[in-house]
Amino acid sequence: MNCTDVVLLCFLLLGFGIFTLSVFAANSQLTELPDSGHVDDTSFTLIVPVRNESATVLQTLKNQLLTLNENAACNFWVIDDGSQEALSFDNAELDRHILRTPADASGSKKRALTLGVERASSHWIVTSDADTLWNLDWLNSIRQQAYPHTSMLIGPVFSQENSSFFSLLSYYESLCLWTLAASSCRLGIPILASGANLAFKKTSWEAVGGYASHIHRPSGDDVLLMAELAAKFPNEVNVLKGRRAFTTTISEPHFKPWLAQRRRWISKTDHLNHPLKKGYALLLLVWLFAPFLLCLVHPLLPLLWFLLEYLWIFRLTQWYRLRSQAWRWILFRCVYPLTLPLILFSAPKAWK
């Protein structure tokens, strides 16, 4: 075995090793809450920032809020962040829950969220997005897990899969991202979170100064806040558990908005300033590209690698009662790494 073979072997072992570690760590988070028949009475406020959403999105949001208003003892605020046409639900009860950011603060999601948090009288804050689908089981899961010694709960967000090729990429990408979020949190080095399914204690948010340290940045209301809370309150950032504790988002059907969305995500990665987080992120890149080196040995070996990975994807989708198909996973796995150069080197975008 020459030097090149040794380097190749080490590269492949590293890639498969980090995948295996991530799977075991993420699998330990797939735990159902005991059905005690009791829901904690911890108070919380749901905050949903809105800016120039389509009529379809607003109608869906309206229906969800009506259900929430009728069936759950939960406060909520919808923040109109400088929409070109002032937000109105044509429902007097819901319209009383709309807050509007000052004209000079429009365009900043963090300022919109800050307005909602400051208005909230609840102990816990839950955030989601206007184009996100959720139900009361999700909110009840958060209430059950809002323990005294928890500062933040990170929940899974899965993209909806439809006939669009980019929705396929988004769907399987969301499964991978949740695996990394759950595993890194389990390992004590949380690196991912999504504001579409996030809960945090208001006093903890105040203790780190809210979004003040990065208020000038258009993105990062989730992961940058998570990083500050994890630093100030070690072991108090946890995964939201339970089969019904996830939300879903509408996938971007076209290339340009799909690319812009991922570029916003990449722009938030500078919170990975801890050596362990940096090392874990680098090993994830090794895992992503390692199977392609197997082509140097035999062209069918990457396929075997992808099928081994699919065992975990199948397990994950079965747990959350989602669907998956091996050939779609293999298609995603072959194409997705090719998009990374475009994501990394395209221009950064604002949150909307």
Cα 285 from Cα 274, distance rounded (Å): 17
Ramachandran class of 349: left when φ > 0, alpha when ψ lies in -120 to 50, beta otherwise? beta
pLDDT band at 36 (very low <50, low <70, confident <90, very high): very low
Inform me whether the pLDDT recorded for 34 exceeds 70. no
The answer to whether the CB of 181 falls within 8 A of the CB of 152 is no
The answer, yes or no, to whether residue 11 has pLDDT greater than 50, is yes
Taking residues 90-116, report their average pLDDT. 85
Q: What is the pLDDT of residue 343?
A: 75
**153 with 146: CB under 8 angstroms?**
yes
Could you tell me which residue, 244 or 299, shows the higher pLDDT? 244
Q: According to the model, what pLDDT value does residue 153 have?
A: 97
Read off the pLDDT of each residue in 32-51 and give the average, rounded to a whole number.
Answer: 75
Give the residue-averaged pLDDT of 223-233.
Answer: 93
Q: Where does the pLDDT of residue 327 fall: very low under 50, low under 70, confident under 90, or very high at 90 and above?
A: very high
- Give CA torsion, residues 142, 145, 150, 152, to 10 deg: -20
**Each residue's pLDDT tens digit, 269-285:** 666 677 777 788 777 88
pLDDT tens-digit series, residues 67-94: 887 765 678 999 998 888 889 998 888 9
Q: Token pair 């590293």 is at which residue?
A: 14
Greater confidence (256 vs 147) lies with 147
Please check the confidence at residue 351 and state whether its pLDDT lies above 50: no
- Average model confidence (pLDDT) across the chain: 86
Question: Residue 38: which pLDDT band, with cuts at 50, 70 and 90?
Answer: very low
Tell me what percent of the residues of the chain surpass a pLDDT of 90: 48
So what's the pLDDT on residue 348? 54
CA–CA separation, 288 vs 259, rounded Å?
Answer: 19
Cα separation, 40 vs 123, in Å, equals 13
pLDDT value for 2: 67
Give the pLDDT confidence score for residue 257 in this predicted structure: 82
User: Residue 283's pLDDT is what?
Assistant: 79
Which tens digit of pLDDT belongs to each residue from 239-253? 999 999 999 998 877
Per-residue pLDDT tens for 184-211?
999 999 999 999 999 999 999 999 999 9
For 44-255, which CATH superfamily applies?
A: Spore Coat Polysaccharide Biosynthesis Protein SpsA; Chain A (3.90.550.10)
